[in-house]
Amino acid sequence: MVSRSINLLIIIIGFLFSQNLQSQNEEYTNEIEDSIKIRRINFGLKLGIPNVIGGSIEILPPILNNKIAPFLDFSGLNIDIDDVGTDFSYLEYGANFYFNEKGNGFFISLGQGKFNTDLNFYNLEFNENGQSTIGDASTNLKFSTTNIKTGIKTGGTFYFRFEVGYGFGSIQKTVEFNATANGISDSFTEEIPPIPGVNSGGILIGNIGFGLSF
Q: What is the pLDDT of residues 50-74, one digit of tens each?
A: 888 999 999 999 988 999 999 999 9
In the prediction, which pLDDT does 4 show? 59
- 19 and 96 in a single domain? The answer is no
Half-sphere exposure of 149 (CA within 13 A, CB side): 33
User: Is 134 within 8 Å of 124 (Cβ atoms)?
Assistant: yes
- 66 and 23 in a single domain? The answer is no
Question: Which is it for strands 184-191 and 105-128: parallel, antiparallel or unpaired?
Answer: unpaired
User: Is 201 within 8 Å of 186 (Cβ atoms)?
Assistant: no
User: Is 92 within 8 Å of 145 (Cβ atoms)?
Assistant: no
- 8 and 82 in a single domain? The answer is no
- 46 and 148 in a single domain? The answer is yes
- Residue 103 backbone zone (phi > 0: left; psi -120 to 50: alpha; other: beta): left
Any idea what the CATH number is for the domain that residue 187 is in?
2.40.160
d(CA 207, CA 165) in angstroms, rounded, equals: 9
* Residue-number span of the structural domain to which 74 is assigned: 39-213
How many domains are there within the chain? 2
d(CA 120, CA 88) in angstroms, rounded, equals: 11
- 82 and 188 in a single domain? The answer is yes
- 6 and 68 in a single domain? The answer is no
- 203 and 135 in a single domain? The answer is yes
- 14 and 90 in a single domain? The answer is no
The SS3 call for residue 82 is: coil
- 16 and 108 in a single domain? The answer is no
- Cα 211 to its chain centre, rounded Å, is 11
- 166 and 209 in a single domain? The answer is yes
d(CA 33, CA 27) in angstroms, rounded, equals: 10
In the prediction, which pLDDT does 20 show? 58
Which residues of the chain are modeled with pLDDT < 70? 1-36
DSSP state of 200: T
- 49 and 89 in a single domain? The answer is yes
Nearest to 205 by CA among 158, 155, 146: 146
- 50 and 144 in a single domain? The answer is yes
